[in-house]
């Protein structure tokens, strides 16, 4: 079973690299809850397709199902890079409905949101295992990046030999510290941005084309 799956994975990956010009790479946007993943996904989608990917919210776990935006064409230096963007639910090791109660949510809604968020984490981990060709890892640069979740996820991504781009989001916030992220994950290039404000998006697209083109 595992062997078969692995075999099939490697075949599909080999096939995807063979036909890379035809099949857009599927880039998963990963990160902890409330890092700005959906804001970034919407920014990219709006910039290049005119559509949004999904609703954004300051309430954590707004995205509880992976959402995909296909055939996003990004033009860099006269070259077109086509990717599928997968906006994934925020990955965490604990989901507690009481956290949502602080956001004026009824208990029933909070419990349901919590359950869906947990399903979403499971789904995100599953996508990471089988269905992404590269990862954009979004971190809130105003918070401590050195967490168990971040270390584990980046470790998994590295073990999969997936290309990963670390984005230090929310540089518009005063508490933002891009250097803290660079220090935490020196083995990867860290690109600062504000997905909300659209700051430094040009460099982000350059790097996307470079990493996933």
Partner 1 sequence: MPHQCTNCGRAFDDGSKEMLSGCPDCGGNKFQFRPDGIDSQAPPDPDAEPPEPPEPPGADSTVARTVGKTAATVRDIVGGGNDDPTVGADAGAASSTGASGSDDASPGVDRSEAATRREVDTQTADTEDAAQASARADVVTPDELPQEPQTDSESEHHFQPVGADPDPPEEPDETERPDLKELREELNDQFESIKVLEPGQYELNLMELYDREEYIVALQEDGRYSIQVPETFRE
Site residues (CB under 8 A) for partner 1?
1-2, 5, 8, 91-98, 107, 110-111, 114-115, 118-119, 121-123, 125-126, 128-130, 149, 152-153, 156
- By C-beta, is 92 or 176 nearer to partner 1? 92
Ramachandran class of 200: left when φ > 0, alpha when ψ lies in -120 to 50, beta otherwise = left
- By C-beta, is 80 or 115 nearer to partner 1? 115
Q: State both tokens at 177.
A: 């510290």
Closest CA to 51 of 32, 73, 66, 35: 73
The DSSP annotation for 101-164 comes to HTTT--HHHHHHHHHHHHHHHHHHHHHHHHT-SEEEEEEETTS----HHHHHHHHHHHHTT--E
Q: State both tokens at 123.
A: 């789904």
- By C-beta, is 117 or 204 nearer to partner 1? 117
The least distance separating partner 1 from the CB of residue 138, rounded to whole angstroms, comes to: 17
- By C-beta, is 79 or 94 nearer to partner 1? 94
The least distance separating partner 1 from the CB of residue 100, rounded to whole angstroms, comes to: 9
The least distance separating partner 1 from the CB of residue 40, rounded to whole angstroms, comes to: 21
- By C-beta, is 72 or 110 nearer to partner 1? 110
Coil, helix or strand at residue 30 = strand
Closest CA to 165 of 193, 117, 118, 204: 204
Interatomic CA distance for residues 149 and 161, integer angstroms: 18
The least distance separating partner 1 from the CB of residue 38, rounded to whole angstroms, comes to: 20
The least distance separating partner 1 from the CB of residue 177, rounded to whole angstroms, comes to: 25
Q: Report which DSSP code applies to 126.
A: H
Instruction: Give the full edge-to-edge strand order of the sheet including 134-140.
Output: 67-76, 79-87, 25-30, 134-140, 164-169, 190-192
- By C-beta, is 98 or 183 nearer to partner 1? 98
The least distance separating partner 1 from the CB of residue 207, rounded to whole angstroms, comes to: 25
């Amino acid at each position: 079973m595992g062997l078969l799956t692995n075999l099939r994975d490697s075949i599909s990956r080999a096939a995807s690299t063979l036909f890379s010009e035809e099949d857009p790479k599927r880039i998963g946007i990963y990160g902890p809850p409330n890092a700005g993943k959906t804001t970034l996904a919407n920014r990219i989608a709006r910039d290049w397709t005119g559509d949004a990917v999904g609703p954004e919210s300051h309430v954590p776990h707004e995205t509880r199902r992976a959402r995909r935006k296909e055939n996003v064409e990004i033009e860099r230096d006269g070259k077109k890079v086509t990717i599928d963007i997968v906006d994934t639910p925020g990955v965490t090791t604990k989901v507690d409905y009481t956290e949502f109660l602080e956001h004026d949510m009824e208990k029933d809604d909070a419990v349901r949101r919590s359950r869906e968020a947990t399903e979403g984490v499971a789904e995100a981990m599953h996508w990471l295992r089988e269905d992404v060709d590269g990862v954009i890892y979004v971190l809130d640069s105003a918070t401590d990046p050195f967490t168990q979740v971040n270390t584990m996820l980046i470790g998994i991504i590295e073990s999969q030999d997936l290309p990963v781009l670390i984005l230090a989001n929310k540089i518009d916030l005063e508490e933002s510290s891009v250097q803290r992220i660079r220090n935490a994950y020196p083995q990867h290039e860290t690109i600062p941005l504000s997905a909300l404000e659209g700051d430094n998006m040009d460099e982000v697209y350059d790097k996307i084309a470079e990493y996933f083109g």
